[in-house]
Amino acid sequence: MRKNLREDKGSFKFSWLLLGLLMLIITCTGWSQENRSFKIFQFPADKIPSVDGEPLDWDMVPESYAVGMDELWEDSGKHSAANPDNLDVKVKVGWVKGMSRLYFLYEAYDDYWDFSLPGLQNDTFEVIVDGDQSGGPFIDRFHPNRELDSMDAFFSFHGVHAQNYHIFTPAQGKEWTMVWGSQPWIKELPYANAAYNYDFKPGESGKLILEFWITPFDYAGNDPARAVESLLKENKNIGLSWAIIDYDDVQKMANNGFWNLSEEHTMYGNASYALPFTLMPLEPEFREELKADWSHKILNMNRRQVAFYDESEGEVTSWNWNFGDENTSEEQNPVHIYKKRGKYVVVLKITGPEGEARHSKVWDVVLK
């Protein structure tokens, strides 16, 4: 009797082990896209691209940053493989250190451009962005509370922690994008801008160049006063994905293909299916061999306690801080207490194999 009981327990454990293994295989298969990651090019501060529809500013961006048709899949089953005679798309993404902007260069050839109607039927570049990789659904019909009123879900949830830009390619007699959510203000200056370059008419073939930038938000509701922009910094990952919706007949409402960067069709409303894009440092040819830089934070105004942070670039072997009050430090990231109130000129000098560099800030440190 005990032997049979042990056998039953063993069989039960083995069944659960098999089930767990099966679930793991399914999960890994469904999330194989996690093996893919992409790069966002950092533009030097003196080479910020102009949004004018001319791609010359992007010539400095290596092709290793380009995402082409080989990374997309047609998830409606209408095409077994990409055909450049039908549709050929390449996308590059950029950023600038210190700015909350994502720059895009979209280059596309299509054998039939559909953009004559005023509504949604329009060749489309649909972009989702999740600036802090919070993940999860972000459109009203995917709200986990099924009892919530649809309009309440729209205003409190739709597009709030991740955003969807339904960009018309090209936009003729209409806004350049439909923001799928309750925050249409994010598609306008000072939060976004776009420019096109093309010479074809509806129904014709040709190449389109679309240049635009958007601002990613960790929180973007109906009221822009409450919005929180995403923090963009080097080596941080953000969530991005896109799809190209290709119409080939103005008389038909059905599209001729939904080309998706994500492996999940519903990425358009679920940020968990976005892919990681890394905000890259400057490419070597744009970096200074040795550059001194620093920032600070007042830890306690009453005690006049200030933390200083070295943000120098290059190989640094020594640091020399002059706090402007006849005190110095050779620490990389010192904390200093000032004895008197005042406005201070703080200087950081660094040395390394490439030489010396200095960076001063006049009256940035002000204590009362």
Q: Do 256 and 191 contact (CB within 8 A), yes or no?
A: no
Section 157-177 average pLDDT: 97
Q: What percent of the chain has pLDDT over 90?
A: 85
Average pLDDT rounded to a whole number, residues 281-288:
93
Assign 30 a pLDDT band (cuts: 50, 70, 90).
Answer: very low
How high is the pLDDT of residue 29? 39
Dist CA 86 CA 102 (whole Å): 28
pLDDT, tens only, 171-213? 999 999 999 999 999 999 999 999 999 999 999 999 999 999 9
DSSP-derived pairing of the beta strands 38-42 and 275-279:
parallel
Residue 2 pLDDT exceeds 50? no
Query: Residues with Cβ < 8 Å from 260, sequence gap 6 or more?
Result: 72, 73, 74, 75, 241, 243, 267
- Going by pLDDT thresholds of 50, 70 and 90, the confidence category of residue 137 is very high
Q: Give the pLDDT score at 261.
A: 97
Domains of the chain, each with CATH number or no CATH: 36-279 (2.60.40.1190), 288-367 (2.60.40.10)
Q: Residue 178 and residue 125: Cα distance in Å, rounded? A: 11
Contact between residue 65 and residue 279 where contact means Cβ atoms under 8 Å apart = no
Question: Mean pLDDT across the chain, nearest whole number?
Answer: 91
Which backbone phi and psi does 234 adopt, to 5 degrees? -55, 140
Question: What pLDDT does 253 receive?
Answer: 67
**Identity of the amino acid at 28:** C
The enclosing H or E element of 7 equals: helix 2-30
Per-residue confidence (pLDDT) for residue 17, from 0 to 100: 43
Q: In which band, very low, low, confident or very high, does the pLDDT at 34 lie, cut at 50, 70 and 90?
A: low
DSSP states along 275-335: EEEEEPPPPGGGS-SEE--EEEEEEETTTTEEEEEE--EE---EEEEE-SSS-EE-SSS-E
Task: Specify the pLDDT at position 343.
Answer: 98
For range 112-130, the mean pLDDT: 95
- Burial (CB count <10 Å: 0-12, 13-18, 19+), residue 46: exposed
Q: Give the per-residue pLDDT at 32.
A: 41
Q: Is residue 1 pLDDT above 50, yes or no?
A: no
Asked if residues 291 and 323 have their Cβ atoms less than 8 Å apart, the reply is no
301-358 pLDDT tens trace: 999 999 999 999 999 999 999 999 999 999 999 999 999 999 999 999 999 999 999 9
Q: Name every residue whose Cβ is closer than 8 Å to that of residue 71 and which is 6 or more positions away in sequence.
A: 36, 261
Residue 25 pLDDT more than 60?
A: no
- Residue 250's pLDDT is 66
Altogether, the residues listed in the chain come to a count of 368
276/286 Cα distance (integer angstroms): 24
Show the 3-state SS of 87-138.
EEEEEEEEECCCCCCEEEEEEEEECCCCCCCCCCCCCEEEEEEECCCCCCEC
Specify the residue for token string 């709030």: 160
pLDDT tens-place string over residues 243-260: 999 998 767 767 888 999
Query: Which of 30-39, 65-74, 154-163 is predicted least confidently?
Result: 30-39
Q: What is the mean pLDDT of residues 104-117?
A: 96
Lowest-pLDDT choice from 37-41, 53-57, 77-81, 302-306: 77-81
